[in-house]
């Protein structure tokens, strides 16, 4: 395995005896190659529009305020990634939950007679080993790697290319470059990418994929054999933009779940400009170089070079790509030992680190140097918690005593610089006195909707002096109905968990934990005490849109801003019905049922319990189709929670139903 100190021949720069050449190379971007001339085709996007705030909390639910606490440093899918070393203990050094690895294409495409034959064992072995330590893997495939990585080959040209694809010599790096414009090569690479995606897209062991394949280390450059041939005698070994775009598009098509990144915003002529799922990979993160020194991450407006990562994003109008795709890369190896020593700013070759994180909206970075960081270093901790998501729950909404079907809500916040990019399942549960989860319910809540509360404005946007922070995401309210049927009466702890799918593969999987007091190491967050009691404990509410209810005919769940839970059931009547299931009748007998409804005109409906006599109820008009009103009636219910309440109208439309309460 290569180490960060040996990376990309940077030691060559220190050994150069030609001052002129050293100064020329020192002015190059990120790595030791020439910066392509800017190919601006757009202008800065400017401040992104704020997302919709989401539904308001259900006013009928009691509020439970939760205290903030620092999230752990090894939350999954964010922070630092350490390099994969077969057989090495991955959980040493600074806390982390990501492993980074390269793989040579020839290690998978081994068959000299068939480019469509793939042996994935080298990748599966690495993914399985990292998963056994609880870590997801970020990875890249390459074809040429100067000197090799130690555990992977320098020349990774598949043997099936022989006789079909011409090779060229990169005398500077002593590598063999295949003809990236070869139709045979392009066809083989696109088929490989399709097979790669078919096998690994959505694999819980994989966190992020760098597109790779093209150029040295798969980093989409062949310096000095690159597009800049005006001042040197080196021919251009890079593919045309049109051919490079085919590779970018193939990755975008093959990976619709796992997050993908490409090295430069302008790679393949900006092929990713209109592909919102493609993120960027800044592998010279927050470095300053040249004389006078200029940043290679921050834009020109903040002292950066014209070829800096964020300047390129501004030039192409993709600086807000982070809203839909991840931003990865590597802390420049030369500065890894001291990158956070001057946090929140920088010093010497380290640029303004906090600004780099905030403006790039960095989620993760390779950082082998983090092995030497002190785990209790508060400066590093502040940076890691800022990276990516920093989710918290500041309020929970639920009845302290409940039975039958009840509604539970939470309000989530995000104090990081990026959203959470995966639709991990969020569940609610009840823990008994021994800490055992006795019942759980999956919710439809989507963590990706919890956007960062504030974002830092680029000076280029012209919205204020630097630093200016803009309000962006809202504290996001979610709620859902759960059925407590079958839960023994008694006291419980109401808990919530966002499950890492890696838990299905490895018992050691790092848990997603919230920045909230009451977060347990097992992933479950304590929301507060709940007593599961009998009907005599008071009225109980049942949401019309709850998934446990039965809808027939045209009846449909619909959004309703003024309704409990932000939803209702409409298009009832003319044969369409709504049945509330699991209604608690307590000890049985006559109960008062309050129907919460909305209708802009007078309507009627029949209401009946179980198979009993239907009662016709008149519903007076409300102000509009989102303003609710109530009407009450009595129904005879059986003891226990097995009752049903059905609303219908066989010959006309009924009102839209928000919920019922039973007392």
Distance CA 95, CA 97 (A): 7
pLDDT value at 618 more than 90: yes
The string of pLDDT tens digits covering residues 481-524 is 999 988 988 889 999 999 999 999 999 999 999 999 999 999 99
Report residue 25's pLDDT band, with 50, 70 and 90 as the boundaries.
Answer: very low
- Kind of pairing between the strands at 589-598 and 629-637: antiparallel
What's the rounded mean pLDDT across residues 236-257? 98
pLDDT score at 173: 95
What's the rounded mean pLDDT across residues 640-655? 94
Handedness of CA 143, 145, 146, 151 (dihedral sign): negative
Coil, strand or helix: which one is 369? Answer: helix
E-strand stretches of 292-390: 294-295, 327-331, 364-366
At how many degrees (to 10) do helices 183-200 and 241-254 cross?
20
- Share of residues in the chain with pLDDT > 90 (%): 83
Count of alpha carbons within 13 angstroms of residue 261, beta-carbon side: 28
- Kind of pairing between the strands at 556-559 and 567-570: antiparallel
Number of other CB atoms surrounding residue 488 within 10 Å? 10
pLDDT score at 317: 97
pLDDT score at 538: 62
Q: Which of 327, 329, 523 is nearest to 419 (CA)?
A: 327
What's the rounded mean pLDDT across residues 650-657? 96
- Return the bridge partners of 516, or none: 68
Number of other CB atoms surrounding residue 169 within 10 Å? 12
pLDDT value at 537 more than 80: no
* DSSP class per residue in 454-483: EEEPPGGG-SSSSS-EEE---PEEEEEEEE
* Residue 218 CA to its chain's centroid (Å): 24
Number of other CB atoms surrounding residue 123 within 10 Å? 23
Q: Which of 302, 383, 309, 299 is nearest to 341 (CA)?
A: 383
H/E stretch holding 193 reads helix 183-200
Q: Which two tokens stand for residue 443?
A: 């919710």
The string of pLDDT tens digits covering residues 435-487 is 999 999 999 999 999 999 999 999 999 999 999 999 999 999 999 999 998 89
Number of other CB atoms surrounding residue 514 within 10 Å? 26
119-120-125-131 Cα dihedral, nearest 10 degrees: -170
Distances (CA, A) of 341 to 93, 338, 364, 534: 17, 5, 19, 59
On average, the pLDDT of the chain sits at: 91
Q: Which two tokens stand for residue 265?
A: 């915003």
Q: Which of 189-198, 354-363, 385-394, 403-412 has the lowest mean pLDDT?
A: 403-412
Residue 493 has phi, psi (to 5 degrees) of -105, 120
- In the chain, % helix, strand, coil (3-state, to 5) comes to 20, 30, 50
pLDDT score at 60: 85
pLDDT value at 119 more than 80: yes
In sequence order, what are the residues at sequence separation of 6 or more whose Cβ sits closer than 8 angstroms to the Cβ of residue 84?
Answer: 1, 90, 99, 100, 101, 126, 129, 130, 137
pLDDT value at 18 more than 50: no
- Kind of pairing between the strands at 259-262 and 278-285: parallel
Distance CA 484, CA 533 (A): 10
H/E stretch holding 270 reads helix 267-270
pLDDT score at 614: 94
Distance CA 183, CA 206 (A): 30
Report residue 11's pLDDT band, with 50, 70 and 90 as the boundaries.
Answer: very low
What's the rounded mean pLDDT across residues 554-562? 93
Q: Which of 78-82, 124-128, 392-396, 530-534 has the lowest mean pLDDT?
A: 530-534
H/E stretch holding 591 reads strand 589-598
pLDDT score at 34: 37
H/E stretch holding 360 reads helix 353-360
What's the rounded mean pLDDT across residues 313-335? 98
Q: Which two tokens stand for residue 38?
A: 């800017």
Coil, strand or helix: which one is 265? Answer: coil
Region for 543 from its dihedrals, namely left if φ exceeds 0, alpha if ψ lies in -120 to 50, beta otherwise: beta
- Kind of pairing between the strands at 437-442 and 426-431: antiparallel
* DSSP class per residue in 3-39: -GGGGGGHHHHHH---HHHHHHHHTS-TTTSPPPPP-
**Is the Cβ–Cβ distance between 137 and 99 less than 8 Å?**
yes
pLDDT score at 24: 29
Q: Which two tokens stand for residue 24?
A: 């020329």
pLDDT score at 42: 63
The string of pLDDT tens digits covering residues 568-606 is 999 999 999 999 998 888 878 888 899 999 999 999 999
Q: pTM for the complete prediction?
A: 0.77
Report residue 8's pLDDT band, with 50, 70 and 90 as the boundaries.
Answer: very low
pLDDT score at 32: 36
- Kind of pairing between the strands at 556-559 and 525-532: unpaired
pLDDT score at 28: 33
pLDDT score at 131: 98
Distances (CA, A) of 231 to 24, 26, 340: 12, 16, 37
E-strand stretches of 327-399: 327-331, 364-366, 391-397
């Amino acid at each position: 395995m290569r180490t960060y100190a040996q990376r990309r021949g940077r030691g060559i720069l220190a050994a150069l005896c030609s001052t002129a050449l050293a100064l020329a190379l020192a002015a190059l971007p990120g790595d030791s190659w020439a910066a392509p001339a800017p190919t601006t085709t757009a202008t800065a996007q400017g401040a992104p529009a704020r997302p919709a705030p989401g539904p308001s909390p259900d006013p009928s639910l009691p509020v439970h305020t939760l205290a903030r606490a620092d999230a752990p440093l090894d939350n999954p899918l964010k922070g630092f990634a350490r390099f994969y070393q077969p057989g090495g203990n991955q959980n040493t050094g600074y806390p982390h939950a990501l492993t980074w690895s390269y793989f040579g294409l020839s290690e998978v495409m081994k068959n000299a007679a068939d480019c469509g034959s793939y042996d994935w064992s080298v990748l599966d072995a690495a993914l399985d080993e990292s998963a056994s330590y609880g870590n997801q893997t970020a990875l890249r495939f390459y074809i040429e790697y100067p000197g090799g990585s130690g555990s992977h080959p320098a020349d990774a040209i598949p043997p099936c290319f022989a006789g079909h694809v011409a090779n060229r010599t990169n005398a500077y790096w002593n590598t063999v470059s295949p003809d990236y414009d070869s139709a045979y090569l392009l066809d083989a690479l696109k088929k490989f990418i399709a097979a790669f995606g078919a096998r690994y897209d959505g694999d819980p062991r994989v966190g992020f994929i760098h597109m790779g394949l093209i150029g040295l280390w798969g980093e989409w450059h062949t310096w000095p054999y690159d597009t800049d041939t005006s001042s040197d005698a080196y021919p251009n070994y890079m593919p045309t933009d049109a051919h490079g775009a085919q590779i970018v598009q193939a990755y975008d098509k093959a990976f619709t779940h796992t997050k993908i990144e490409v090295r430069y915003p302008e790679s393949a002529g900006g092929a990713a400009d209109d592909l919102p799922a493609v993120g960027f990979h800044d592998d010279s993160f927050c470095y300053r170089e040249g004389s006078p020194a200029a940043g290679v991450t921050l834009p020109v407006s903040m002292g950066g070079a014209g070829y800096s990562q964020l300047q390129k994003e501004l030039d192409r109008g993709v600086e807000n790509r982070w809203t839909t795709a991840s931003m990865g890369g590597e802390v420049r190896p030369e500065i890894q030992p001291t990158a956070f020593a001057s946090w929140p700013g920088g010093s010497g070759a380290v640029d303004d680190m906090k600004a780099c994180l905030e403006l790039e909206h960095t989620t993760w970075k390779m950082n082998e140097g983090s092995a030497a960081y002190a785990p209790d270093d508060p400066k590093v901790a502040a940076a890691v918690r800022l990276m990516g998501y920093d989710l918290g729950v500041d309020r929970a909404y639920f009845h302290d005593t409940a039975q039958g079907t009840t509604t539970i809500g939470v309000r989530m916040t995000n104090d990081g610089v990026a959203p959470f990019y995966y639709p991990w399942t969020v569940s609610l549960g009840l823990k008994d006195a021994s800490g055992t989860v006795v019942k759980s319910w999956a919710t439809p809540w989507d963590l990706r909707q919890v956007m960062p509360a504030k974002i830092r404005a680029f000076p280029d946007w012209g919205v204020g002096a630097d630093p200016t922070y803009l309000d962006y995401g809202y504290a996001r309210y979610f709620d859902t109905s759960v059925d407590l049927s079958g839960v023994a009466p008694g006291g419980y702890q109401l808990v919530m968990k966002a499950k890492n799918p890696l838990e299905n593969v490895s018992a050691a999987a790092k848990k997603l934990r919230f920045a909230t007091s009451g977060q347990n190491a097992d992933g479950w967050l304590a929301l507060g005490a709940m007593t599961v009691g009998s009907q005599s404990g008071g009225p109980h509410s049942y949401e019309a849109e709850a998934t446990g209810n039965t809808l027939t005919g045209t009846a449909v769940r619909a959004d309703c801003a003024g309704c409990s839970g932000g939803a209702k059931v409409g298009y009832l009547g003319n044969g369409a019905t709504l049945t509330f299931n699991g209604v608690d009748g307590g000890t049985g007998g006559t109960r008062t049922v309050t129907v919460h409804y909305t209708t802009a005109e007078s309507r009627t409906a029949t209401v009946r319990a179980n198979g009993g006599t239907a009662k016709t109820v008149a519903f007076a008009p409300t102000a509009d189709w989102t303003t609710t009103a109530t009407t009450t009636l009595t129904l005879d219910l059986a003891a226990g929670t097995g009752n049903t309440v059905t609303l219908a109208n066989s010959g006309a439309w009924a009102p839209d139903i928000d919920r019922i309460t039973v007392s």
